[in-house]
Chains A and B, each alone.
Chain A
Amino acid sequence: MSAVLTSMPPSISPSPPALLIRPTRGLAALNLRDLWLYRELIYFMTWRDLLVRYKQTVLGVSWAVLQPVLQMVVFDLLFNRMAGLSAEGFPYPIFNFTALLPWNMFAHALNVASRSLVSNRNMLTKIYFPRVIIPLSSIIASVVDFLIGSVVLVGLMIYYHLQPTAHYRIEITPALLWLPAFFLLAFISTLGVSLWLSALNVVYRDVGHVIPFLTQIWLFITPVVYSSREISASWRVIYALNPMVGVVDGFRWAILGTQAPDGSVWVSVMAAVAVLLSGMVYFRRMERTFADEI
């Protein structure tokens, strides 16, 4: 021990800045400054989530590709060939896959993030760091899966683009420039819902039981296996309250060139922002007592 300690410089800064600990009230401390100070922790936690997810698996990261592909195959079989759902004239697999990518990011992040605080209980009760890092890094890990999965999408696009007798055209259009915006919408929605659920789960473990249900039902109120054109115009505004509706419509428009989203996309945007803001407030309010309640 002494060998180690003698090599440590007595590096005490003349007067370290003071940190004030006091009861926080209201939104005063969303504490973005701390989040910035701890940015490396976000990186490390994400890295841990990814490492752990694929450790001791034979196929490793290939699962990030296999999962959505298998899903696509099953959905194609069930909803296209058996139920005969239309794909706005596009081949069903690619039509489905453009929705599966953001949807899986959303559903998977929801699943992991909502349990994340509870499963990292020992960290929460022992040391300080901005609590939001825990759900946030599970979400970012899902983004990485999303990026890996998009390789498949590119492959699908090339494959269908080269089909000689196609009655459709898969091409890169200027609408693709909008993709980052819709990705952001997906991210905001994911973060907002995850903040709510993870904080709720600390106090009410019921949330853990609700999640599988919730994602299943949410899948069917989102146009993943079907086209949103099936929804009658009078319901569209209410339908678009689900922010994932705007995300999926946007993805399909940007990638496949389906009909451009109408005004109802703004309903999705506002819903996503509302969920995020309220989620931040709720999370912040609960954060104070996480260590006591968890």
Chain B
Amino acid sequence: MSDYAIRVQNLGKQYKIGMAPNRYRTLSDALVNLFRPAGRAAQRGYIWALKEVTFEVRRGQVMGIIGRNGAGKSTLLKILSRVTEPTEGEAEIRGRVGSLLEVGTGFHPELTGRENIYLNGAILGMKRSEIARKFDEIVAFAEVEQFIDTPVKRYSSGMYLRLAFAVAAHLEPEILVVDEVLAVGDAEFQRKCLGKMSDVAQQGRTVLFVSHNMSAILRLTEETLVLDHGRLAYRAPTPQAVDYYLAAGFSQEGMRLWRAEDIPAEAVPFRPIALRVCDGQGRVVDSLRSVEPITVEVEYQLDAPITGLRVGIYLLTMRGEYVFTSFDTDDPALFERFSVRQAGHYLSRAVIPANLLNEGRYLLAVNASAFRVKRYFQDEQALAFTVDGTGAPGKHWPEPRLGPLRPALDWKIEKTA
């Protein structure tokens, strides 16, 4: 017998194209449509914002949901919180669903803090007795004691948000839904939301957490769903899911080629051609050994001379942390020699020394710019590659090493007494 909080089966939601919020139809549109050939309306087309999504969330589990914009994350949350109905499939929910999205929903500026607490509580599904019981706590939490009988239109925005959050935070839902993508408020407020979320999780409640912030997802969730174009693309323990999400769409060949349509107009006259990573034997590969030097190669064309150009790379971990930044003219002598780079075909090549990187997957970004003059080209996610740690320092202990680097340091052990 499975003890689940949410069970979703074949869930799908279809939208009419052009049915964006605030774009309401008018009666005259409808009348005009009446007199059009019947097939016409169907041509407007539909899109599936969510399609054939199936998963379960155990009770007490903290589940992350990631995906690009338009992947269907918010639609999924809206269906689960019953704001909108699915077109097909079904979802089973056990317990009260609360969302930190609802902060301040139904607040009326003319009403006092006290009145709004009761109203908002009722809207969130609390019983009057429940609100009365928690009233003092809510007021204390929001720190608005002196203003509790003042209309909230006279509140500062900070007070307003605190009060709204206080009510939502006291809902005690069995299932908490957090859509960080849509969360409003300043950093402090968002931090509070995340804090509340991990508290809720520690109390053994179920949490669904939607975010674009990979480090938050990694910190707070155990398992993550990756949505892509409305479909469930991947489900795995969070670290794998995040790697999958970040790596999705990257080539697996150790080489990135830019097509004409990938290059923005402002790059002219810089024209990137390729980025490659090569192993010790000079082969272009996706997986490299940490004990061998890694050669990184940027190939590009200049259609006109550029003064002060520097072409460089950023190395990042898959979590988005920078490991280092390096440019081809970091050496002042080279910068002097190439102060004006003439038109032509170029190859900028650098070697990442052996025994520097830890095992794992890394991301290369490319930048071509003239310092404080112009950025010609930048690709934040140009190429991903894997570093294999076989033979790396300390490999005789089968443990993962922390940090993106695994340098072979020159240790000496001296017996001093």
**Closest Cβ–Cβ distance, residue A191 to chain B (whole Å):** 21
Chain A contact residues, CB within 8 Å of chain B: 1-2, 4-5, 7-8, 10-13, 15-24, 38, 40-41, 43-45, 47-48, 51-52, 55-56, 120, 122-129, 202-206, 288-289, 291-294
Assembly CA distance A292 to B16 (angstroms): 10
Q: Are A24 and B122 in contact (CB under 8 A)?
A: no
Instruction: Identify the interface centre among B80, B101, B172: most chain A CB within 10 Å of its CB.
Output: B172
Assembly CA distance A13 to B5 (angstroms): 12
Q: Are B127 and A22 in contact (CB under 8 A)?
A: no
**Closest Cβ–Cβ distance, residue A141 to chain B (whole Å):** 14
Q: Are B111 and A51 in contact (CB under 8 A)?
A: yes
Q: Which residues of A contact B81 (CB under 8 A)?
A: 127-128
Number of B residues, CB within 8 Å of A? 61
Contact with A along B117-154 (1 / 0, CB 8 A): 01100111101100000000100110000000001000
Of chain B, the residue at the smallest CB distance from A55 is B110
Assembly CA distance A128 to B101 (angstroms): 12
B169 contacts the other chain (CB 8 A): yes
- Taking A13-B174, A17-B94, A48-B119 as given, write out 8 further A-B residue pairs in contact, using a Cβ cutoff of 8 Å, ordered by the A residue number: A5-B196, A18-B92, A19-B92, A21-B82, A45-B122, A122-B105, A127-B81, A294-B21
Contact residues, B201-233 vs A (CB, 8 A) = 203-205
Q: Which residues of B contact A206 (CB under 8 A)?
A: 26-28
B283 contacts the other chain (CB 8 A): no
- Residue pairs across A and B with Cβ atoms less than 8 A apart, 6 shown, are A17-B94, A20-B93, A45-B122, A52-B108, A55-B151, A126-B105
Q: Which residues of B contact A22 (CB under 8 A)?
A: 86, 89-91
Contact of B83 among A12, A16, A19, A127 (CB under 8 A): A127
Contact with A along B24-52 (1 / 0, CB 8 A): 11111010000000000000000000000
Q: Which residues of B contact A294 (CB under 8 A)?
A: 21, 24
Given contacts A1-B199, A126-B101, is CB(A16)–CB(B96) below 8 Å? yes
Q: Which residues of A contact B169 (CB under 8 A)?
A: 1, 4
Q: Which residues of A contact B196 (CB under 8 A)?
A: 1, 5
Assembly CA distance A22 to B8 (angstroms): 10
B192 contacts the other chain (CB 8 A): yes
Q: What are the 3 closest A-B residue pairs judged by CB atoms, nearest first? A: A128-B82, A22-B90, A16-B95
Contact of B111 among A10, A48, A203 (CB under 8 A): A48
Q: Which residues of B contact A12 (CB under 8 A)?
A: 95, 174, 203-205
**Closest Cβ–Cβ distance, residue B148 to chain A (whole Å):** 16
Q: Are A15 and B172 in contact (CB under 8 A)?
A: no
Contact of A289 among B84, B88, B101, B174 (CB under 8 A): B84
Given contacts A10-B204, A22-B86, is CB(A123)–CB(B94) below 8 Å? no
Q: Are B102 and A292 in contact (CB under 8 A)?
A: no
Of chain A, the residue at the smallest CB distance from B22 is A294
Q: Are B79 and A205 in contact (CB under 8 A)?
A: no
Q: Are B125 and A44 in contact (CB under 8 A)?
A: no
Q: Are A127 and B99 in contact (CB under 8 A)?
A: yes
Q: Which residues of A contact B84 (CB under 8 A)?
A: 288-289, 291-292
Of chain B, the residue at the smallest CB distance from A8 is B172
Assembly CA distance A293 to B115 (angstroms): 30
Q: Are B122 and A288 in contact (CB under 8 A)?
A: no
Of chain B, the residue at the smallest CB distance from A11 is B172
Contact of A20 among B90, B137, B203 (CB under 8 A): B90
**Closest Cβ–Cβ distance, residue A2 to chain B (whole Å):** 8
Instruction: Identify the interface centre among A21, A44, A122, A202: most chain B CB within 10 Å of its CB.
Output: A21
Q: Are A1 and B89 in contact (CB under 8 A)?
A: no
Of chain A, the residue at the smallest CB distance from B165 is A1
Contact of B118 among A44, A122, A205, A292 (CB under 8 A): A44
Q: Which residues of B contact A1 (CB under 8 A)?
A: 141, 169, 192, 195-196, 199
Q: Which residues of B contact A7 (CB under 8 A)?
A: 137
B322 contacts the other chain (CB 8 A): no
Q: Are A18 and B94 in contact (CB under 8 A)?
A: yes
Assembly CA distance A24 to B24 (angstroms): 23
Given contacts A4-B137, A52-B111, is CB(A204)–CB(B92) below 8 Å? no
Q: Are A15 and B94 in contact (CB under 8 A)?
A: yes
Q: Which residues of A contact B125 (CB under 8 A)?
A: 38, 129
